[in-house]
Amino acid sequence: MITQEKTIDYFQTESNGMVLRGMKHSSNLDAKKQGIVIIVHGYFSSNKIGPHRLYVQIANVLAELGYDAYRFDLSGMGESDGLIEDATYESHLKDLKEIILTLYKTSKQPIILVGHCMGAELAIQATIDLPTIIKRSLLLAPFFSNKRIMEKVFGIESLDRLSENGYTYRKGIFVSGSFFRSNTTDINFLSKLATTRDKLSCIIAEADELVPFEDSKKIFSAANLQPIAIKGADHNFLETRQILLEKIIEVFKNTQNQQGIIEKIV
């Protein structure tokens, strides 16, 4: 619900000569200002609104907590410049870091990332690359890949095409193979989790249709992290949206109370 204490404004910046377009949700109460949050969209959801307005809802609750919450379209997605056929993991990571550096330069405040699906992997890598700027990252239903997951997401025929051509289509949407190479394999994902675990919180979905719950539990356990698990939730938290938002608020309040360095144990 939009209140008089919150505003939503258009925002844009540039990366690789392309304009990245987004929205800024902010509190009008100066006394409540808590810092900056950037919401990093997934690959298949592919825009700043999110599946069934997920990112809009997250930005709204974070603004109510006093954060300036930004949700962007990365290049080739949504309203930002570029073509989806030209978007790669590397270009999206560069986009995200350009957004981070632009906001940090103007605010001089450490930044919190909220990444969903593939956006969670980008958030982890940005946390590794910009350790003095990123205060914390919250991962929502993070995507990582192994043979079983890839076959589940794409099917054998599309997966063969992805391997042979470097791209395929999933539900009519172009998919670049760069997002599913070594960057997101379970082995590399585990290594990144272990490297950044002191700055991570994670919420996973027990009924995730892309990344099986048991795979997520196993990899987080190996990284010595205990995520928050939402019972009955799918990858986009469609039927458990209110529970998700409440858990996000809980994580951020704990971050505020403990000055941004927390170990969230559920």
What is the 3-class SS of 11-30, one letter each residue? EEEEECCEEEEEEEEEECCH
Q: What's the CA gap between 26 and 221, in Å, rounded?
A: 36
Directed axis angle between helix 156-165 and helix 147-154, to 10°? 110
At residue 166 the predicted structure's pLDDT band, cuts being 50, 70 and 90, is very high
Phi and psi dihedrals of 89, rounded to 5?
A: -55, -45
- The answer, yes or no, to whether residue 262 has pLDDT greater than 60, is no
> Strand ranges (DSSP E) for the chain?
6-15, 18-27, 35-40, 67-72, 111-116, 134-140, 167-170, 173-176, 200-205, 228-230
Tokens linked to 82: 């570029």
* Residue 230 · residue 243 · CB < 8 Å: yes
* pLDDT over 70 at 183, yes or no: no
Look at residues 223, 220, 184 and name the one whose alpha carbon lies nearest to residue 204: 220
Task: Provide the pairing of β-strand 35-40 with 134-140.
Answer: unpaired
What is the distance between the alpha carbons of residues 39 and 156, in angstroms, rounded to a whole number? 32
Residue 47 is predicted with a pLDDT of 86
Calpha distance 138→255 (Å, rounded): 11
In whole angstroms, give the CA distance from residue 69 to residue 76: 22
pLDDT of residue 258: 61
Give the pTM: 0.92
Confidence of residue 46 (pLDDT cuts 50, 70, 90): low
pLDDT at site 11: 93
| pLDDT score, position 17 | 93
Instruction: From the options 3.40.1190.20, 3.40.50.620, 3.40.250.10, 3.40.50.1820, give the CATH code of 6-145+179-257.
Output: 3.40.50.1820
> Whole-angstrom Cα distance, residue 50 to residue 61?
15
Residues whose CB falls within 8 Å of the CB of residue 82, separated by 6 or more in sequence, listed in order: 18, 75, 76
- At 43, the pLDDT band (50, 70, 90 cuts) reads confident
